[in-house]
Structure 1
Amino acid sequence: MDSPPPYSEKPETKSEKNGTVNGQLKGIDNKAFDTKDEKMDIATEPEKFDPWALPELKDTGTPWNELDSCGKVVRVVWTIVRILLFLLALYVFFCSLDFLSSAFKLLGGRAAGEVFSNNELLSNPICGVMIGVLSTVLVQSSSTSTSIVVSMVAADILDVRQAIPIVMGANIGTSVTNTLVSIGQITDVGDFRRAFAGATVHDMFNWLAVIVLLPLEVLTGYLYELSKLVVDSMHLQTYEDANKDLLKAITKPFTKLIVEVDSKEINKIATDGETDISLLKTCCKSKTITKLNMTGSVISEKICTKNCSHLFMGSGLTDAGAGSIMLVVSLILLCVCLFSIVKILNSLLQGNIRKVIKKFVNYEFPGKAAYFTGYLAILIGTGLTILVQSSSIFTSTMTPLVGVGVIGLDRMYPLTLGSNIGTTTTGILAALATDTSDGYMHLQNSLQVAMCHLFFNLSGILLFYPLTFMRFPIAMAKFLGNTTAKYRWFAVLYLILMFFLFPLAVFAISLAGIEVLAGVGIPILCLLVFVAIIKVLQNKKPHWLPKKLQNWKFLPICFRSLKPLDRLFAKMCGCCKICSKNEEANADIEKQIDTKL
């Protein structure tokens, strides 16, 4: 069979409608039309997949104008019911976070208090940071660990310089809660990618701030000197009601019926070295009476006027037993509430409603003023965190909203920075409650620690926010989000590594001395910096690199990919549909992300 003639040799065919030959006008130069067609082809070319684009949900329901009176009433009632269910789920979610904090305090509060009481360990700044991380993870509250540090400084057990690294570590440890919350959206790849990135942007900022500012503080002591200058210039006075906050007033009526933990007992373990103490609260109201002893001197005695009535009162359970029960209950509640919140949000925030809320939350000031929008978000994050007195609760509430696509990652970042500032007010209030019966020196020292916490967060923001190219936490969080989208088990591995194994390993090595830590840490740090530089050049300027370094294919697959681990986990839990996706879906997501990146 003869091959068909080339395009230029095709016979002319006349169009019946417009008198064209081969689709072109006779006697007219069609170059202009060709250019236009080419532009149209480019314009209609499908856009590349953007894993970080906020999803647009079409409103598939019947338009309001097409509903009859009965249908309108049903829709309004159903909307009100969903709003009430959302508020109920949110309330129980807050309570479950409180239960989780109580469980960790019961399980790890004693250990945290004993670690804090070891003054020799705290003299090493690296040890101090890791103790801050681990203790905050154990008690699930940076407010608690910071308050313990403030109390120890006020009691002259800790020096202000020793307390600064612990406060830095507490900043890292508090971000474990919202990272844990993000796992609640693991069933949907897109939501999970966004939620995990929205949670870990907090982690990345805190780790980067410590990596940069800890050596600077050790070398110059700028946080110590700056906070001392500020505190010395203040007219100090105490504040009795320093520990009240809005959220506790709302959740406590319910949570105190289930369990009550006395955080002051952790302070006693840390400051007084008492070990034979139960953290379960038994006395809810007490008063102090004075009386004369046998020698005629006046003594004060504290008597209980009202016993607590929570479920564990008189149960005979140890702190570990009660903590284990509360841990299971709180995790179940947390998962159920997160699932309910996400489903209700997806149901409520559809079509025009979602568009309006997204437009409001992610609004940018017009023109050149758009740069300052993020600073307004920082102020909003600060104000809301001051209201709830917990950065963990604020960021944990925002994380599901990032997952469902209401808040963008670029907006979550400044909100998180604001929450870091807002949470420092807890330490400041705790410092202002310091007993000044022995003079104001204790108040000055404890307030100086709290101010160091504030200046540390402000310094981190000045480093990693004003200049857009310095916003490394966003890029790092996106990398982690993409990784968890491909390998969902990575989220659990990340939690274990970053908040338990890595701090424990650094803590153990630092016990051997600063020389051993430097000998192990500096080569690893140099390797990580080298890999980061090569990775940037591979993406931006690959021609600057030798041909072999333009990709990582020369390395064994176990050094450049998580696929071997993925296959291992797939074999270990092959029946798990969530942790181990089928190869087809996994390959499709990888292809989409690689196309974008």
Structure 2
Amino acid sequence: GAMLPYRRESPALPRCPVRGGRVVHGPQFAYCPSPQGRCPQPSSSSSSSPSPCRVQLCLLLARPWPRRVQSICVSLLKVPLMFGFLYLFVCSLDVLSSAFQLAGGKVAGDIFKDNAILSNPVAGLVVGILVTVLVQSSSTSTSIIVSMVSSGLLEVRSAIPIIMGSNIGTSVTNTIVALMQAGDRSEFKRAFAGATVHDCFNWLSVLVLLPLEVVSGYLHHVTRLVVATFNIRSGKDAPDLLKIITEPFTKLIIQLDKSVITGIAMGDESLRNRSLIRVWCGPTPPQVRGPWPCWVYQMITRRSLHNITRQKCEHLFTDTPLPDLAVGLVLLAGSLIVLCTCLILLVKLLNSLLKGQVAKAIQKVINTDLPHPLSWLTGYFAMVVGAGMTFVVQSSSVFTSAITPLIGLGVISIERAYPLTLGSNIGTTTTAILAALASPGDKLASSFQIALCHFFFNISGILLWYPLPFTRLPIRMAKALGERTAKYRWFAVLYLIVCFLLLPSLIFGISMAGWRALVGVGAPFLGLLFFVGLVNALQVRSPGRLPKWLQTWDFLPAWMHSLQPLDRLITRATLCCTDRCRSPEGWEEREGPRPDKARLGLDNPALSYPEEVPSPAVRVGSPRPPLHGATRL
């Protein structure tokens, strides 16, 4: 038989010979088996390549029986392992949310308690962001808002900016998940872009819709009209589809009494010293209704209370002497460890399963548009899929966090992840609508109106940033963030701190000084941001329309238009932990080949790409060469 050389990692597989021969196994070559029925060969006149299934079957038959059985068993074992790690991943997200609520839940309740602050739309927006980041659950923050509105402590119009802020805060989870793929630059670039496309959409929608809502009350009037038009009746609770699977495990770790946070937010000071950790899980007394005197109610209630036995909850922290903050920190550390471990193992399993022809087939199915007359409907179909999956798992954070590793592996493109994320935003609002329909009759109208505000906010954002290709600005912004993060991996942590902590806190502080201070600071900042974006676009597309001094940003100091100076500082601080900081030369640029510098850095995440290294010094009077990546802000 003819010898067939092949490489195991090669994506292109040659045709399999079918004529006689024996099987020879070696590190880099093998003969295919001789039976012609096992591997049919197309005629020599046909120029078409063999199908992937035929080639894979030839390679499998070329192995001895023990190796064939071992390969099949390993492949079959990977599938349940993948689902097991996915289950632990989802459970760790639930425990992570509980940990944040233990650590900052009462603080979140205190933030909601001050109604004078919440009446300021900008302050309400920031409160929604910070509270959702603190409790890591938009459903928890939304339920607090619904409770405050239904009880009359908060007006619907004042609650709308808080709903917008909770929409922004919930997108922090998948951004944290993207950090776990920082080991590979290309994967990190795609994963971070796929995660931040959610952030960019939410921020852009708020920048347009919040001023519109303040001026016109658009969402308030539309939702009030919908509530008044339809005869809405109380319905059933939202179905707990995912919790049926995850709660048996997560309840063994921790159980919380979320009514404490809601009570503190509504001004009940008696709950101030009460622990969030649930200790007693006994049944509640029965509700007695009927046209009877008060003494009948009291007698029935007393008799029923004697027959109720309270049972202690069965979880790890039932009888713990630790305070809520300590338990929250312990759960935070443990859940992050499990989250990172499961995510790393999931990525490795997906890498081994989704490779070669299998990965190509999945990518083709997911990322291919519908046939030509209906190709424009592909994105909207992806939105329906995203909304349906989010409705099943009842959490947009779980869905977007689950697809983030697939985006990093390249299985799902950024262009396809964008409509999936938008559909996820819609799916999480439908769950809130069903939950609002379960409210009592006197609270139904206000609860349903708030849920509809969340729904119409996301619908309005989709109409702004999706229908036309040139309006899909979040995709371009997310790709730019992904490229920047791939070059400077520390930028991802800086992005999280600035966008979800420092910037909201700064806006909150300025808004507390009054509208004049907010407009005086915010208007010039937004004007400068618009000017920089416009100049950047002209520098790329038509630099001739700009003055010569504006065609690059080199007239500014380096720290104002490049991350290289900050990268050097972070690199110096990072490498100070090694023996290099003890050398008499310190951290100075030394002549020598760049690979030596990279070897000394040991592939440190703070080091930039080789092309980011500045050019060597030039003589005085010679034209200054522009730094790579330093011509745009």
Normalization by structure 2: what TM-score?
A: 0.80
What is the Cα deviation at residue 95 of structure 1? 0.8
User: What code does the residue aligned with 2:432 have?
Assistant: G
Q: 8 Å contact 2:237–2:435 — kept in the other structure? A: no
Partner of 1:247: 242
Structure 1 portions without partners, runs of 5+: 1-58
Q: Distance in 1 between matches of 2:265 and 2:532?
A: 42
- Quote the Cα distance in structure 2 between the aligned partners of 1:516 and 1:86: 53
Task: State yes or no: 1:161 paired with 2:147.
Answer: no
- Single out whichever of 274-283 and 542-551 deviates more from structure 2: 274-283
Equivalent of residue 93 in structure 1, options 64, 89, 96? 89
Distance 1:485 1:586 in 2: 12
| CA distance 1:313–1:188, shift in 2 (3 Å) | same
Identity of aligned residues (%): 50
Count the aligned residue pairs.
529
Query: In the superposition, relative to structure 1, how do residues 381 and 130 fare at CA in structure 2: closer, same or farther (>3 Å)?
Result: same
Change (3 A) 1:593 1:412: farther
Determine the C-alpha separation between the residues in 2 that align with 1:582 and 1:544.
Answer: 32
Aligned partner of 2:231 in structure 1 is 235
Q: Which residue of 1 aligns with 2:531?
A: 530
Q: How does 1:173-322 map to 2 (within 5 A)?
A: 173-242=169-238, 244-274=239-269, 275-288=272-285, 298-299=297-298, 305-322=310-327
Change (3 A) 1:220 1:298: same
Distance 1:546 1:290 in 2: 77
Q: Taking structure 1 as reference, are residues 544 and 331 closer, same or farther at Cα in structure 2, changes over 3 Å only?
A: same
- 1:389 corresponds in structure 2 to 394
Deviation per CA, 1:164-221: give whole Å up to 9, x if none. Answer: 0000000000000000000000000000000000000000000000000001111111
The gaps in structure 2 that reach 5 residues or longer are 1-54, 289-293, 579-601, 615-625
* Letter of the 2:334 counterpart: V
Per-residue CA deviation, residues 113-167 of structure 1 (Å, 9 max, x unaligned), is 1111111111000001100000000110111111111111111111000110000
Q: Structure 1 pair 522/223, CA: closer, same or farther in 2 (3 Å)?
A: same
Change (3 A) 1:571 1:592: closer
SS of residue in 2 equivalent to 1:246: coil
How many Å apart are 1:594 and its aligned residue?
A: 10
Instruction: Look up the SS of the partner of 1:286 in the other structure.
Output: coil
Offset of residue 582 of structure 1: 6.2
CA distance in 2 between counterparts of 1:278 and 1:143 reads: 21
1:21-32 to structure 2, matched below 5 A, reads: none
- For 1:380 and 1:593, locate their aligned partners in 2 and report how far apart those are by CA, in whole Å: 38
Does the C-alpha gap of structure 1 residues 318 and 529 become closer, same or farther in structure 2, counting only changes over 3 Å? Answer: same
* C-alpha contact (below 8 Å) 2:144/2:262 kept by paired residues: yes
TM superposition shift of 1:222: 1.1
- In structure 1, the residue matched to 2:22 is none
- How far apart, CA to CA, are the structure 1 residues paired with 2:282 and 2:220? 39
Listed one character per residue, the Cα deviations across residues 18-68 of structure 1 (whole Å, up to 9, x for unaligned) are: xxxxxxxxxxxxxxxxxxxxxxxxxxxxxxxxxxxxxxxxx9998234234
Q: Is the 8 A contact 1:428 1:447 kept in 2?
A: yes
> What is the CA distance between 1:454 and its match in structure 2?
0.2
The CA deviation at 1:592 is 10
Match of 2:374 among 348, 352, 369: 369
Q: Structure 2 vs 1, CA of residues 142 and 304 (structure 1 numbering), >3 Å: closer, same or farther?
A: farther
Residue in 1 aligned with 2:605? 579
Deviations 1:339-364 (A, max 9, x none): 11111111111101101111111121
Amino acid paired to 2:313 = C
Which moved further from structure 2: 264-273 or 296-305? Answer: 296-305
Amino acid in structure 2 at the alignment position of 1:148: I
Q: Distance in 1 between matches of 2:373 and 2:514?
A: 51
Residue in 1 that maps onto 2:32: none
Task: Kindly provide the amino acid, as one letter, of the partner of residue 195 in structure 1.
Answer: A
What does 1:7-156 correspond to in 2, within 5 Å?
A: 63-156=59-152
What per-residue deviation string (whole Å, max 9, x for no partner) do you get for residues 509-568 of structure 1? Answer: 111111111111110110000000000000111100001111111110000001111111
Equivalent-residue separation in structure 2 for 1:186 and 1:70 (angstroms): 38
Aligned-residue Cα RMSD (Å) equals 2.4
Go from structure 1 to structure 2 and tell me whether the alpha carbon gap of 1:240 and 1:583 turns closer, same or farther (over 3 Å shift). Answer: closer
Q: What does residue 451 of structure 1 align with?
A: 452
Local SS of the residue matching 1:539: helix
Displacement of 1:252 in angstroms is: 0.8
CA contact (8 A) 1:283 1:307 kept: yes
- 1:286 shift after superposition: 2.0
Shift of 1:578: 4.4
Does 1:539 find its partner at 2:576?
Answer: no
Which residue identity is paired with 1:551? T
Post-superposition CA distance 1:68-122 (Å, at most 9, x none): 4333322221111111211111111001101110010001111111111111111
Amino acid at match of 1:371: W
In the alignment, which residue of structure 2 is the partner of 1:413? Answer: 418
Distance of 1:586 and 1:380 partners within structure 2:
41
**Aligned residue number for residue 344 of structure 1:** 349
Residue 356, structure 1, aligned to residue 357, structure 2: no
What letter is aligned with 1:279?
Answer: L
State the AA in 2 paired with 1:255: T
AA partner of residue 336 (structure 1): T
Q: Deviations over 1:436-482 (max 9, x none)?
A: 3xxx3x21011001001000000000000001100000000001000
CA contact (8 A) 1:488 1:578 kept: no
TM-score, normalised via structure 1 length: 0.85
Residues 591, 554 of structure 1: alpha-carbon distance in 2 compared, 3 angstrom cutoff: closer
Conserved 8 A contact 2:612-2:629: no
Task: Write the distance in 2 (CA, Å) between the matches of 1:429 and 1:542.
Answer: 53
Post-superposition offset of 1:288: 1.0
Instruction: Give the direction of change, closer, same or farther, for the CA distance of 1:594–1:517 in structure 2 (3 Å limit).
Output: closer
TM-superposed deviation, 1:231: 1.0
CA distance in 2, matches of 1:472, 1:149: 31
Q: CA deviation at 1:276?
A: 2.2
Residue 351 to residue 386, structure 1, CA distance change in 2 (3 Å): same
The separation in 1 between residues aligned to 2:127 and 2:144, in whole angstroms, is 12
- Write the letter of the residue equivalent to 1:466: P
Partner of residue 512, structure 2:
511
Distance in 1, matches of 2:628 and 2:404, equals 24
Aligned partner letter, 1:411: R
- 2:454 counterpart of 1:461: no
Contact 1:107–1:319 under 8 Å retained in 2:
yes
Could you say if the C-alpha distance between residues 151 and 304 of structure 1 is closer, same or farther in structure 2, counting changes exceeding 3 Å?
Answer: farther
Residues 236 and 434 of structure 2 are in contact (CA less than 8 Å); yes or no, is this contact kept in structure 1?
Answer: no
